[in-house]
Structure 1
Amino acid sequence: MVLVTGGTGLVGSHLLLKLSMDHEKIRALYRSKDKLAQVKKIFSYYSDNSTTLFNRIDWVQGDILDIPSLENALKNITHVYHCAAYISFNPSDFKKLERINREGTANIVNICIAEGIKKLCHVSTIGTIGRTLNGEQADEETEWIRQNTNPYAITKQLAELEVWRGAQENLEVVIVNPGVILGPGFWNSGSGSFFTTAAKGYNYYPPGGSGFVTINDVTNIMIALMNSDIYNERFILVAKNLTYEQILKKIALAMDKKPPTKALKFWQLKIGKIADIIKNILTGSPRTITKNTIYGLKHPTTFNNEKIKNTLGMEFDSLDEQIKFSSKLFISEHS
């Protein structure tokens, strides 16, 4: 039986769908029952038999910071997909990020070792891949430096160190480092915000760019790696490097909206950072523009995906098809 943590998130819900379709014996960890409705909705995007697929999963309430609940969830498990994480780029959230992302991962690793788990797949981020300053693409060996890095990436790098500690204690591990994951259903967070933004028809787009990948590729690769003899390796999962102008244009056109045509200037972003701080203080809304955010926009990095392509002998899915599919669902839910 396999265990999926973070089963109610974008990666976790899509991973559970594929595992259920493959008739795997699955257990999934969840924190609150209200999040399960979102998983059912995700399943319904892809199957008319979504209720049956959902009911194949052994749902266990728990938390990666609650060791007794984790010990219970890991009983009779052979493989663990660790998708759970807390995402925030607000520096004031560092302690919470560190506790959930590093300490939570340490708990997973420790119990995997104690229970004799065969293999652990840890979902990280390209934020833990080092930046290049010479225009070359970054790969899995590019040195990572903490300076000018957002707090989320810092805590995910600390989480990776916990996974490598487990590898030293004979736990077989694989780490995936996805770029921005394009997929439907979570419109107010992560890549979903690109669809929400494009739908509003803004004229401006941010400078810089990132690596992008479809949710289908991410989950297929995770399963392929877990079913293989490959272990103690990490892999960048990026189908294509795009500017934010390019990705927003693609999404806007898929929604039949006017694409943005004007680049935000860095002085505008600095003013936006101040407004963002004030809004955060007054309303408690998440920070979206920080000093490290602006640095990342000013110094974008592109990513090399050859390692995973050569290891699995694969090619990545079309981003355009995923954008069309997700845009159609967005429109149907917001019309």
Structure 2
Amino acid sequence: MILVTGGTGLVGAHLLLRLTDDNRKVRAIFRNEKNISKTKNLFEIMNKENLFSKIEWFKADLNDVPELEEAFIDITEVYHCAAMVTFTGSENEKMQKVNIEGTANMVNLSLAFDVEKFCHISSIATLDETIIGTNLIDETSNWNPNGIHSDYAISKFGGETEVWRAAQEGLNVVIVNPGVIFGIGFPDQGSGEIITKMKSGFPFYTDGKTGVVSANDVVSCMIGLMDNNIFNQRFILVSENISYKDLFEKICNLLNKKTNFLEAKKWMLAIAWRMDWLLTAIIPNKKRSLSRDLATASFTKDLYKNDLIKKTLNFEFETSDKFLKDIILKQI
């Protein structure tokens, strides 16, 4: 049986859809029962409602080891998709606990229960040393301890460290580092918020670039790596590198929205993230939407290479034109 964490999130839900469609036995960990409806909604959008009942849902917290132990009974493979994302300083400790300690618990139990293989979903945020003399990043790139990192990136790097430690202790692992993931069914979280903001007329862009990829491709690569004799390697999952301006224009064109964007300069974002911090401090329960680290990252022009995964699995990625069109047509 396959164990999936984060099954109520974008990647985890798409993974459950694919695994059940392949008639594989899956157990999915959840914390909040109401969030299961998000995954069910994806199955309905994709006209796969009949597959949803194949999922064995199991309530557990990544930081509650006794609960997790029960979830690992009869498990042979693990896909660890769960992670917390926040830019609110008061929640940072919780994020570190989930993304680092939670991952440590997952790999420790995988070792204890003789799990055959473990797939960890990380992020391109953990790779920031470019190849010497270029602005390119590949799987040989390392974490730059002197670089400017968001709290989220630090937590994901810490999670990776736990996975590599478990690999040294005998667990067969693969790590994937996706770019910004776009997928159907989650308009209010992650990359879905970008489309939602474009739909509401968000007017700004920054002079930076990022790597993008579809949730479908992330899932295909994960399953391909788990099904093949590939161990203890990492793989960057990026369909293409694209400027924020081009990305926003593509989305707006598909939404039939105007594309008269204004370029946000660094000094503007310096004011914006400070204002965001101030409003968060004043308004109860308001979460940060823009941090200093996020503002800085929005001007980065590093390019991510995808040669290794393409060669290893003989894989071709969907273009952003295709997956953005598919998502927007399904969600309008």
TM-score range, shorter chain: over 0.9
User: Is the contact between residue 120 and residue 171 of structure 1 (CA under 8 Å) also seen in structure 2?
Assistant: yes
Residues 30-79 of structure 1: CA distance to partner in whole angstroms, max 9, x if unpaired?
A: 111101111111111212x41x2010011111111111111001100000
Show the counterpart of 1:17: 17
Q: What is the CA–CA distance in structure 2 between the aligned matches of 1:289 and 1:63, rounded to whole Å? A: 28
Q: What is the CA–CA distance in structure 2 between the aligned matches of 1:44 and 1:15, rounded to whole Å? A: 15
User: Is the contact between residue 90 and residue 151 of structure 1 (CA under 8 Å) also seen in structure 2?
Assistant: no
Q: What is the CA–CA distance in structure 1 between the aligned matches of 2:213 and 2:30, rounded to whole Å? A: 25
User: Is the contact between residue 248 and residue 260 of structure 1 (CA under 8 Å) also seen in structure 2?
Assistant: no
Alignment of 1:97-108 (within 5 A): 97-108=95-106
User: Is the contact between residue 136 and residue 305 of structure 2 (CA under 8 Å) also seen in structure 1?
Assistant: yes
Is 1:295 aligned to 2:293, yes or no? no
Show the counterpart of 2:63: 65
Structure 1 residue 134: Cα displacement: 4.9
Show the counterpart of 1:186: 186
More displaced stretch, 161-170 vs 278-287: 278-287
Letter in 1 for 2:269: L
Is 1:81 aligned to 2:82, yes or no? no
User: Is the contact between residue 77 and residue 118 of structure 2 (CA under 8 Å) also seen in structure 1?
Assistant: yes
More displaced stretch, 288-297 vs 309-318: 288-297
User: Is the contact between residue 209 and residue 299 of structure 2 (CA under 8 Å) also seen in structure 1?
Assistant: no
User: Is the contact between residue 181 and residue 215 of structure 1 (CA under 8 Å) also seen in structure 2?
Assistant: yes
Q: What is the root-mean-square deviation in Å for CA atoms of aligned residues?
A: 1.4
Structure 1 residue 287: Cα displacement: 1.7
Q: What is the CA–CA distance in structure 2 between the aligned matches of 1:208 and 1:319, rounded to whole Å? A: 17
Alignment of 1:251-262 (within 5 A): 251-262=251-262
User: Is the contact between residue 201 and residue 260 of structure 1 (CA under 8 Å) also seen in structure 2?
Assistant: no
Q: What is the CA–CA distance in structure 2 between the aligned matches of 1:316 and 1:260, rounded to whole Å? A: 30
Structure 1 residue 207: Cα displacement: 2.7
Show the counterpart of 2:142: 143
SS at match of 2:153: helix
User: Is the contact between residue 250 and residue 320 of structure 1 (CA under 8 Å) also seen in structure 2?
Assistant: yes
Residues 210-231 of structure 1: CA distance to partner in whole angstroms, max 9, x if unpaired?
A: 1000011000110011111001
Letter in 1 for 2:28: A
Identical aligned residues as a percent: 40
Q: What is the CA–CA distance in structure 1 between the aligned matches of 2:180 and 2:114, rounded to whole Å? A: 33
Letter in 2 for 1:302: L
Show the counterpart of 1:240: 240
Question: Structure 1 runs of 4+ off > 3 angstroms?
Answer: none
SS at match of 2:303: coil
More displaced stretch, 104-113 vs 60-69: 60-69
More displaced stretch, 295-304 vs 100-109: 295-304
Alignment gaps of 5+ in structure 1? none
Show the counterpart of 2:327: 326
Q: What is the CA–CA distance in structure 2 between the aligned matches of 1:249 and 1:134, rounded to whole Å? A: 31
Normalization by structure 2: what TM-score?
A: 0.96
Q: What is the CA–CA distance in structure 2 between the aligned matches of 1:285 and 1:134, rounded to whole Å? A: 42
Residues 183-217 of structure 1: CA distance to partner in whole angstroms, max 9, x if unpaired?
A: 12222221011101110123321231210000110
Show the counterpart of 2:51: 53
Structure 1 residue 124: Cα displacement: 0.3
SS at match of 2:96: helix
Query: Structure 1 residues 279 and 134 mapped into 2: Cα distance closer, same or farther (>3 Å)?
Result: farther
Normalization by structure 1: what TM-score?
A: 0.95
User: Is the contact between residue 61 and residue 68 of structure 2 (CA under 8 Å) also seen in structure 1?
Assistant: yes
Alignment of 1:197-216 (within 5 A): 197-216=197-216
Give the paired residue count: 329
Query: Structure 1 residues 273 and 227 mapped into 2: Cα distance closer, same or farther (>3 Å)?
Result: same
Q: What is the CA–CA distance in structure 2 between the aligned matches of 1:238 and 1:68, rounded to whole Å? A: 37
Structure 1 residue 16: Cα displacement: 0.1
Letter in 2 for 1:288: S
Letter in 2 for 1:265: K
SS at match of 2:207: coil
More displaced stretch, 320-329 vs 128-137: 128-137
Structure 1 residue 260: Cα displacement: 4.0
Alignment gaps of 5+ in structure 2? none
Q: What is the CA–CA distance in structure 1 between the aligned matches of 2:298 and 2:61, rounded to whole Å? A: 34
SS at match of 1:298: coil
User: Is the contact between residue 240 and residue 319 of structure 2 (CA under 8 Å) also seen in structure 1?
Assistant: no
Letter in 1 for 2:58: V
SS at match of 1:108: helix
SS at match of 2:70: helix
User: Is the contact between residue 202 and residue 260 of structure 1 (CA under 8 Å) also seen in structure 2?
Assistant: no
Letter in 1 for 2:294: T
